[in-house]
């Protein structure tokens, strides 16, 4: 394997990964492609190609069909599966409706790195096999550089368009799942994450905790200081919640209006209570003046804390109901506090 390292962010020249067990062909390809200002990485077989592909993220793969250890057809099949798995993981990270998911999968998985098969086999069966493993195109040996050069240029243009589509899709996914004001997860993302974690924790028989939060007398805050100030207040409260819910798996969401929610997988009741205490202290430290409040001269939160061990016989809504009842009790008990429901 020749000089493999992750591609430099400062060097924007196209990066070509060449997999061929014939050293003379690799030398020839490197020579002519470097004259075209391409960067070139060489490997000897399909197994090395898979390893290099995930390390350097090339713009194009030139893949010999017949190689030791792993042939090009098998390698191409694995490369396409890697791309599909990466896309599936990316899509599942976001909450999008089924129509958008289908559009994403059909348009984005395909544009994974173009794969150009290089083979001495030009019979119909070999050509069909190349396309069955979803190679983008093929050329035959002996390689005619003018033909290959045009193929590379066309594929690079195609890859550039696909990358633009992928970037646009990621931006769309972000907008579909993020609350525009607070930049926290929105209600759509909250529902999706809760359902997914419920299924996951049923299998693990592990606890799931939730905190529902409500800014005390927020309507009066808006009436006294105006909605622009209210928006700033929501942003500051959301920032504290995001900071204090420290586990990577925790999700902080704007639940609606002045309500927020924290989903905490693998968190027992004691851990959820601790997070509520830390959140309460963080909000007090903000010292956002709220002269219209009946409980404090500063903005405060009422919180309901609930913990369950998910089962197939119960549902995520049961946890929400428990947290909501606890929140109601916190408000009825004088606000500026949290109540736990176990």
In this structure, the number of other CB atoms found within 10 A of the CB of residue 260 comes to: 28
Q: Which of 36, 205, 258, 313 is catalytic?
A: 258
Give how far Cα 162 sits from Cα of 59, 74, 106, 110, Å: 11, 24, 12, 9
Extract the tokens encoding 191: 């529902």
256 forms beta bridges with 259
Extract the tokens encoding 66: 């017949």
DSSP for 29-40 reads HHHHHHHTT-EE
Q: Angle at Cα 172 formed by Cα 166 and Cα 173, nearest 5°?
A: 90
Q: Angle at Cα 157 formed by Cα 156 and Cα 162, nearest 5°?
A: 95
Q: How far apart (Å, rounded) are the C-alpha atoms in residues 60 and 57?
A: 9
- 258 part of the active site: yes
Q: What φ, ψ does residue 83 adopt, rounded to 5°? A: -65, -40
Instruction: Reply yes or no: is the peptide bond before residue 288 cis, omega within 30 of 0.
Output: no
Residues that are catalytic: 258
């Amino acid at each position: 394997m020749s000089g493999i390292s992750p591609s430099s962010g400062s060097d924007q020249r196209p990066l070509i990964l060449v997999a061929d067990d014939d050293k003379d062909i690799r030398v020839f390809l490197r020579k002519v492609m470097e004259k075209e200002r391409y960067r070139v990485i060489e490997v000897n077989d399909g197994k090395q190609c898979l390893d290099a592909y995930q390390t350097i993220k090339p713009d194009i793969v030139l893949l010999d069909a017949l190689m030791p250890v792993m042939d090009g057809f098998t390698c191409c099949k694995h490369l396409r599966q890697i791309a599909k798995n990466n896309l599936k993981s990316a899509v599942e990270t976001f909450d999008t409706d089924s129509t958008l998911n289908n559009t994403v999968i059909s348009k984005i998985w395909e544009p994974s790195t173009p794969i150009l098969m290089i083979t001495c086999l030009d019979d119909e069966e070999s050509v069909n096999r190349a396309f069955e493993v979803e190679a983008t195109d093929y050329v035959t040996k002996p390689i005619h550089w003018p033909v290959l050069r045009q193929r590379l240029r066309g594929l690079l243009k195609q890859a550039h368009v696909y990358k633009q589509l992928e970037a646009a899709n990621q931006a769309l996914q972000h907008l579909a799942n993020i609350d525009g004001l607070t930049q926290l997860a929105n209600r759509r993302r909250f529902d999706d994450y809760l359902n997914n974690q419920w299924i996951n924790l049923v299998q693990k028989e592990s606890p799931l905790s939730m905190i529902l939060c409500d800014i005390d007398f927020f309507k009066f805050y808006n009436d006294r200081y105006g909605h622009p100030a209210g928006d700033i207040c929501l942003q500051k409260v959301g920032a504290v919640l995001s900071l204090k819910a420290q586990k990577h798996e925790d999700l902080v969401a704007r639940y609606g209006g002045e309500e927020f929610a924290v989903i905490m997988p693998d968190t027992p009741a004691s851990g959820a209570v601790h997070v509520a205490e830390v959140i309460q202290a963080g909000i007090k430290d903000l010292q956002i003046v709220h002269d219209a409040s009946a409980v404090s001269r500063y903005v405060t939160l009422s919180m309901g804390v609930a913990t369950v061990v998910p089962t197939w016989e119960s549902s995520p809504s049961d946890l929400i109901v428990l947290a909501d009842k606890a929140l109601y009790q916190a408000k009825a008990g004088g606000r500026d506090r949290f109540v736990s429901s176990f």
